């Protein structure tokens, strides 16, 4: 019986994995140098964690199950709620703002297509404990810096949910959330039907005008001088000072219901409909999980989409050493020579009892950069002697092990 991997999941072959790790490490380095510390939370959580505020869309798409003890569990569809739960349980007393980051897999039962999977990875940060605009700007600036480091151009759109909420005046919170969901999905037809249903068709035109506007002044004429617009103006001015180009976009609504204020999304070219590579915003969740009311801002990149958007990238060539020896000297080479190299480089030995030529051609096949030959000629000169062969140029030279290590190290830089 041939068994295939489940729909919407991915296998990563060594080359793809090397590329993913290369990108991931660059992203980690950037956020760490801005002071963010890594955390990890469980792959499954209590369902309750996500029923309080994520919103219907996310719950509809989630893998929810009972364990053998009858507990309702959920495979995490995203990380903001787990991070907040962890914060409430263990980190509330830490100095603020608290800066955390994660790189974790998430699960959503969506219709798979290019850039949309049922298991995918999110790389994200949460800045917990500040509601200052400079904190919100830092989070956006960090997202932008992560993209710069990996060499990906993203189109940044920044909005504020307060503007939309103000426009909707006396609709209930639930109704406002529903409208925001339609806007997030860009489902105009659904929005129209819904507004008809709740007797608020007069809002349709205003919502369209606001979500099409890219101008804070214009928005003020529609919704008045609300604090949300003042905040968005501050954020936009600061982003200008940072030199981060961005567009004001009131249609950035985010599918998750916990966002309370500034929201942003980043799009990349070449991904078709699934072009949103990341998004984030400001939210308040801690009080819902038994903690103190805590303003926070965060973002998550869809790591798989980031990798897709980067396309083919040139990875730095990794030094790979193959220890090549005669059959008689194989044990010597494996036990005495190889351990000296493996301390410094990726090093392999012959495991197939091949002759010297066979080992050299295997070295070639696996992309070894250097072969270290251990033969009679070398041993006659002394136990410390080996021949270094540069696999690219074919040049050979007999040297001591120490000299070879230094030589390869120099080439490695
Ligand atoms: P969200 O938690 O919905 O704000 O998603 C954050 C980011 O994760 C999005 O901007 C996408 O880049 C990525 N993402 C969301 N859902 C998927 C999915 N099904 N497959 C791949 N990436 C996803």
Per-residue pLDDT tens digits for 224-249: 999 999 999 999 999 999 999 999 99
Q: Ligand 1 pocket, 85 CB below 6 A?
A: no
Task: Give the nearest ligand 1 atom to 278 CA.
Answer: 10
Give residue limits of the domains in the chain. 14-310, 320-412
Strand-pairing partners, residue 385, are 400
Q: What's the DSSP call for residue 268?
A: -
Please compute the mean of the pLDDT values over residues 134-158 and round it to a whole number: 97
Q: How confident is the model at residue 413 (pLDDT cuts 50, 70, 90)?
A: low
Give the position of tokens 């009972």. Answer: 66
What's residue 317's pLDDT?
86
Query: CA distances (Å), 387 to each of 203, 214, 301, 356, in order?
Result: 80, 67, 48, 13
Q: Which helix (H) or strand (E) is 184 found in, with range?
A: helix 173-184
What's residue 269's pLDDT?
87
Query: CA distances (Å), 224 to each of 62, 91, 169, 218, 250, in order?
Result: 39, 39, 11, 10, 15
Give the whole-angstrom CA distance, residue 101 versus residue 122: 10
Q: Ligand 1 pocket, 255 CB below 6 A?
A: yes
Better-scored residue on pLDDT, 54 or 251: 251
Give the whole-angstrom CA distance, residue 409 versus residue 319: 9
Q: How confident is the model at residue 113 (pLDDT cuts 50, 70, 90)?
A: very high
Give the whole-angstrom CA distance, residue 276 versus residue 98: 27
What's residue 58's pLDDT?
79
CATH superfamily entry for domain 14-310: Bira Bifunctional Protein; Domain 2 (3.30.930.10)
pLDDT at 325 over 70: yes
Q: Ligand 1 pocket, 278 CB below 6 A?
A: yes
Q: How many CA atoms lie within 13 A of 73 on its CB side?
A: 13
Task: Give the nearest ligand 1 atom to 300 CA.
Answer: 6
Q: Ligand 1 pocket, 116 CB below 6 A?
A: yes
Give the whole-angstrom CA distance, residue 115 versus residue 186: 18
Q: Tell me what percent of the residues of the chain surpass a pLDDT of 90.
A: 89
Q: What's the DSSP call for residue 171?
A: S
Per-residue pLDDT tens digits for 54-98: 667 778 899 999 999 999 999 999 999 999 999 999 999 999 999
Residue nearest atom 21 in ligand 1 by C-alpha distance: 116
Q: Ligand 1 pocket, 54 CB below 6 A?
A: no
Residue nearest atom 16 in ligand 1 by C-alpha distance: 116
Among 259, 257, 237, 256, residue whose Cα is nearest residue 248: 237
Q: What is the mean pLDDT of the chain?
A: 94
Give the position of tokens 């270094």. Answer: 388
Among 259, 273, 248, 267, residue whose Cα is nearest residue 116: 273
Per CATH, the number for 320-412 is: 3.40.50.800
Report DSSP letters for 188-256, one per residue.
HHHHHHHHHHTT-THHHHHHHHHHH---HHHHHHHH-S-HHHHHHHHHHHHHHHHT---EE-TT---S-
Give the whole-angstrom CA distance, residue 298 versus residue 239: 16
Residue nearest atom 8 in ligand 1 by C-alpha distance: 302
Q: Ligand 1 pocket, 338 CB below 6 A?
A: no
What's residue 272's pLDDT?
87
What's residue 258's pLDDT?
82
Q: Ligand 1 pocket, 154 CB below 6 A?
A: no
Tell me the three-class secondary structure of 72-141, residue by residue. Answer: EEEECCCCHHHHHHHHHHHHCCCCCCEEEEEEEEEECCCCCECCECCEEEEEEEEEECCCCHHHHHHHHH
């Amino acid at each position: 019986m041939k068994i295939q991997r489940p729909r919407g999941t991915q296998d990563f072959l060594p080359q793809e994995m090397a590329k993913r790790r290369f990108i991931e490490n660059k992203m980690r380095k950037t956020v760490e140098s801005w002071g963010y510390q890594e955390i990890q939370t469980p792959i499954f959580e209590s369902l309750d964690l996500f029923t309080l505020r994520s919103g219907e869309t996310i719950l509809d798409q989630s893998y929810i199950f009972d364990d053998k003890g009858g507990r309702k569990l959920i495979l995490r569809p995203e990380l903001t709620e787990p991070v907040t739960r962890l914060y409430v349980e263990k980190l509330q007393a830490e100095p603020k703002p608290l800066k955390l980051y994660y790189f974790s897999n998430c699960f959503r039962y969506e219709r798979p297509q290019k850039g949309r999977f049922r298991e995918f990875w999110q790389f994200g940060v949460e800045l917990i404990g500040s509601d200052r605009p400079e904190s919100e700007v830092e989070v956006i600036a960090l997202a932008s810096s992560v993209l710069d480091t990996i060499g990906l151009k993203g189109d940044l759109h920044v909005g504020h949910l307060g503007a939309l909420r103000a426009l909707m005046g006396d609709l209930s919170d639930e109704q406002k959330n529903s409208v925001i969901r339609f806007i997030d999905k860009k489902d105009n037809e659904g929005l129209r039907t819904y507004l008809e249903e709740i007797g608020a068709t007069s809002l349709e035109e205003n919502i369209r005008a606001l979500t099409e506007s890219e101008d804070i002044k214009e928005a003020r004429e529609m919704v008045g001088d609300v604090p949300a617009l003042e905040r968005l103006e501050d954020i936009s001015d600061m982003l200008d000072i940072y030199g981060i180009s961005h567009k004001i976009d009131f249609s950035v609504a985010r599918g998750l219901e916990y966002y309370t204020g500034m929201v942003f999304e980043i799009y990349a070219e070449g991904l078709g409909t699934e072009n949103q590579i990341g998004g984030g915003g400001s939210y308040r969740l801690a009080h819902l999980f038994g903690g103190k009311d805590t303003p926070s801002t965060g973002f998550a990149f869809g790591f798989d989409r980031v990798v897709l958007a980067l396309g083919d990238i040139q990875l730095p060539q990794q030094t790979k050493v193959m220890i090549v020896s005669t059959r008689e000297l194989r044990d010597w080479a494996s036990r005495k020579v190889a351990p000296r190299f493996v301390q410094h480089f990726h090093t392999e030995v012959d495991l197939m009892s091949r002759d010297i030529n066979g080992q050299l051609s295997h070295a070639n096949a696996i992309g070894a950069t250097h072969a270290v030959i251990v033969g009679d000629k070398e041993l006659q000169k002394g136990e410390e002697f080996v021949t270094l062969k540069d696999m690219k140029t074919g040049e050979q030279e007999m040297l001591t092990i120490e000299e070879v290590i230094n030589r390869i190290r120099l080439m490695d830089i």
